[in-house]
Amino acid sequence: MVNSKIDNLSEKSEALVNLYKELEKNYEKLPLATKVDDIVPGEGPADAKILFIGEAPGYYETVERRPFVGRSGKFFRKTLTEEAGIQGSEVYISNIVKVRPPENRDPTPEEIVAFKPVLDREIEIINPKLIITLGRFSMAKFLMNVKISQVHGRLHKVRWPVTKITNENLDKGVPESEANDKQVKEERDLFVLPMYHPAAGLRSGKMRESFIADFKKIPKIIEWIENQKETESFKSTVEEYLF
Ligand code: URA
């Protein structure tokens, strides 16, 4: 059996390019999109250690076709650099929904489901050491029945399904998208750190402090993750670590 995980940087980059080419080709089937340019792709190195997941692009993101470049995006990128010592160019930044909802309203469950395969594939290709969710919508992808006010800034280990492709399919050249019935689902651990959305951080002095305090923890959390042994087994589906 061969894991569909890709290890080599150029293959990962190519896989991401192909993923978005495919999405653009099929833009008419997507909710919210009226033209190819409505799609705001994820941005960053394909082998990034950290994957940030926001909610959906806004006006400026759609104009530039880049995630987090508007007011809250500038606050997010500044906090990342100044408080965590990490440049925006070192991380991969994406969204739950890749097209701007009208008037920046909350994404609907149907819209989230429609873009799920793309985000799942981004996670699989990048295989980041840490996923940081920004806001409650991306948090809900990994953590059920929790309040962001209670779990923000706390690291979670989440069991996550990994798509494995059988050698039989590979030998026959069956494309991954057509091999669903023959795919074997396995699970692996993902580290997820829920954070407030930067727009919430801009709302009040207290929220800003909280947002900044969480970002200051990132280097220590990454160091802690890198020191974990891959073989370590865990008792519960979601295990919480105190940071
Ligand atoms: N807010 C988000 O959630 N994503 C963006 O890309 C911009 C603002």
**How much is the mean pLDDT over the chain?**
89
Per the domain annotation, does 214 fall within a domain? yes
CATH number of the CATH domain containing 212: 3.40.470.10
- Which residue's structure tokens are 């991306």? 138
Taken in order 119, 40, 7, 51, the sign of the CA dihedral is negative
Residue 167 has pLDDT above 60, yes or no: no
pLDDT in tens, 204-218: 999 999 999 999 999
| Other Cβ atoms closer than 10 A to 62 | 18
Report yes or no on 12 lying in a domain.
yes
Q: Would residue 41 count as lying in a domain?
A: no
Range(s) of the domain holding residue 84: 2-32+52-227
Distance CA 237, CA 67 (A): 31
- Residue 234, pLDDT > 60, answer no
- Range name among 143-147, 161-165, 172-176 with the lowest pLDDT average: 172-176
* Complete DSSP assignment for 19-69: HHHHHHHTGGGSSS-SSGGGB---BS-TT-SEEEEES---HHHHHHT-SS-
Considering the domain boundaries, does residue 139 fall inside one?
Answer: yes
pTM above 0.75, yes or no: yes
**Ligand 1 centre and the CA of 170: distance in Å?**
37
241 domain residue, yes or no: no
Residue 231 above 80 pLDDT? Answer: no
Distance 18 CA to ligand 1 centre (A): 23
Q: By the 8 A CB rule, do 99 and 228 touch?
A: no
95 touches 32 (CB < 8 A): no
Kindly state whether residue 172 falls inside one of the protein's structural domains.
yes
Residue 19 has pLDDT above 50, yes or no: yes
- Considering its fold, how many domains does the chain have in total? 1
- For residue 156, being part of any structural domain is answered with yes
Pocket of ligand 1 (CB under 6 A): 54-58, 61, 67-68, 70, 72-73, 95
- Is 15 within a domain? yes
DSSP letter, residue 70: S
What does the pLDDT look like over 171-193, one tens digit per residue? Answer: 454 445 555 545 657 888 899 99
